[in-house]
Every structure is written in C-alpha cells, then in structure tokens.
Copies of this chain bind each other. A is one copy, B any other.
Amino acid sequence: MNDTIRSIATIMSDLDGILLFPHINMDGDALGSATALCLALRSLGKKAYIMISEPVPKNLDFLECGCTTDDDTVLEDVQLSLMLDCSGYNRIPGREQAWERGRIKGCIDHHATKSKDIRFDFSRIEPKSAATAEIVYRLIKDLGAEISLDIANAIFAAITTDTGNFQHTNTTSRSHEIVGHLYKVEGFNSKAISSLIYDRKSKEAMQLESHVLSNLSFYADGRVAVGKVTQKLLADCGCTMDEADGIVQRIMSIEGVEAGCLFKETKDNVRTSLRGRTYANVEGVAKEFGGGGHMLASGCTFDVPVDEAEQMILPLLVRAVERS
C-alpha cells in the first residue's frame, strides 16, 4: 500500500543519517532524484549520502554535487536506507551491505513493477508519474526545504531525461507544472543543464553514429530498419559501446520506419535494442529470444555472430510491421 508523501515527510523529518540508493546503470532520474533529495536533507541539517557502486556517467557529472560515495561506512549511524527510482535488491548490486545498515527501509519509485524481495517500512510507487523526481519534488516541499538552484537543476535533469524532453506519453500536466516552478528559482537555466546532458558527444561518438546511420539496412518497404555496432567499428572509431546510446532513437526518426533494431556486438554476445513507432510489438519479438521490455522498446541477446542473429530476428521484425 502506498504511503502518502506527507506521511513519508513526517517519518523522514525525525530521522538522521540517511543513505539514498539510485538504481544501477543510473540515469538522469535515478541520480537527479537522489541528488535533489540529498541536498534538501543536508539543507535541513541532516547527514545524507548517495550510495553508488559505479562511476557517475559523464553527461550527468554535474549532478554529483558532492553527494555520492561508495564507502559503506561513510555514516556511523544509518537510520534510513531509501531506494530511489527502484525497488529491489537486483537494482542495487554491490550495495546490499550498505543497504542493510539502515534501521528503517523505504522506497520511492515510479516503476509499477515493485519487487517483492524487500519489506519496506514505507514506500510510495506512482506509476503515473513520469519521473521519480516528481515525487521527490513534492517530498522536498513537504519536508519544508528550499528548492535551491542545485536542487532545481537535478529535478529538471531528471524530468527532462525521463520524459524525452516532454515529448513521451508519460509526460503529464504535473510534469509541466513542477518544471514550471523551477523557473522561479534564481539563476535557473534550462539550456545550460540541457547542454550539459545532451551536447557533450565526443567526436568519435559522432563518427560512430554517422557510420551506423549511413549504413542502415531497410526491409519491408522501409518499415524495418537495422543498424549494427560491431567490435571492429568501435575500434575503428575509437569508441566504447556506451557511446552507441541514442543511435536507435535516431533510426526511429526516419520516415516510414515502424520497427528499428540496433545490434550491439560485445565481446561475449550480441545485444539488440528494439523500438516500435506506433504499433510494432517489439516486446513480442524480444520475448521469442528470451528478452523483454515494453511493447515499443525492448531488447534481447544472442549467442551467435551478428549476421546470424540478424537472419534470426528479421522475419519476426517483418511480421511485427505487418498490420493485421
């Protein structure tokens, strides 16, 4: 059962020594929510840290704000361990020990799929919120903390990334309402934050993306588009695989493409990023190969060479774009 934001604020007001746990492979919402809440708690005189076990992604480095640590023992007494943008052990690998230190355990998330492996003392799951930061923003207000510029930046980064810059269907009136309030914070500059998040692509990554996009294969009258990031291409461009992020979205910007597939050849296997535009059920395709996701965004993994994987998945992609 969902606790109210007000009751969570009341509980947290009485606690000190708080560890925040964003999910692994942290994104703008996970880290942005954690940073905003951590700074708010500190502004109220509390000791708070964000526990992480991986480096902060380069494009989110401005969200660090001195909040993160990988030191389990950073706090002598941990009164609260709080998961943000996630709700299960599988989302905080390597941090289980730190997690267990919290005498009280809580969870604030917007993913509907709440894990059952943890018994939280309090939790709030809002599947209709576009970002966990929308919940955190209201919690900060109820805690009575000021929205500082750093907090505003973190909330903006979280909401703008999780909503695809306010274009995705998860965006709501409230997403806009909250972000509208951020403009009232002295010095707030959406463009500056946006530029930090999006406009720091390396020259090498731009070469990689250009190469993939100019060598796409099209099938089913252009309704299926397939691109490949091979180990050789990564080496040729001097890139790592994380720099292929975003290429599949670019594939989907091409007119007529209803299903997009980007193959990512790692050293161990071949991963796919699958996207549908409006009706192609790529989750169904992914499931055939043991993968999963959402109807319009999914993925699966192959243990065969990339060309073989392509031959396996192509007929299913072509079938997925056939309107019944």
Chain A contact residues, CB within 8 Å of chain B:
160, 165-169, 171-177, 179-181, 183-184, 189-192, 194-195, 198-203, 206-207, 209-211, 213-214, 216, 218, 222, 250, 252-255, 277-278
Q: Is the CB of B191 within 8 A of A203?
A: no
- Chain B residues lying within 8 Å of A169, measured Cβ to Cβ, are 189-191
Q: Is the CB of B203 within 8 A of A210?
A: no
Which listed residue, B198, B203, B214, touches A207 by the CB 8 Å rule? Answer: B214
Q: Is the CB of B167 within 8 A of A201?
A: no
Q: Is the CB of B167 within 8 A of A194?
A: yes
* Closest Cβ–Cβ distance, residue A210 to chain B (whole Å): 4
Q: Is the CB of B183 within 8 A of A252?
A: no
Not counting A173-B181, A195-B277, A211-B214, a sample of 11 additional A-B residue pairs whose C-beta atoms are within 8 angstroms of each other reads A165-B167, A169-B190, A176-B177, A177-B177, A195-B278, A198-B253, A199-B252, A199-B255, A202-B255, A203-B216, A206-B213
Residue in B closest to A212 when the chains form the complex, CB atoms: B210
* Closest Cβ–Cβ distance, residue A142 to chain B (whole Å): 21
Q: Is the CB of B180 within 8 A of A168?
A: no
Q: Is the CB of B254 within 8 A of A206?
A: yes
- Chain B residues lying within 8 Å of A168, measured Cβ to Cβ, are 190-191
CA distance A168 to B175 in the complex (A): 17
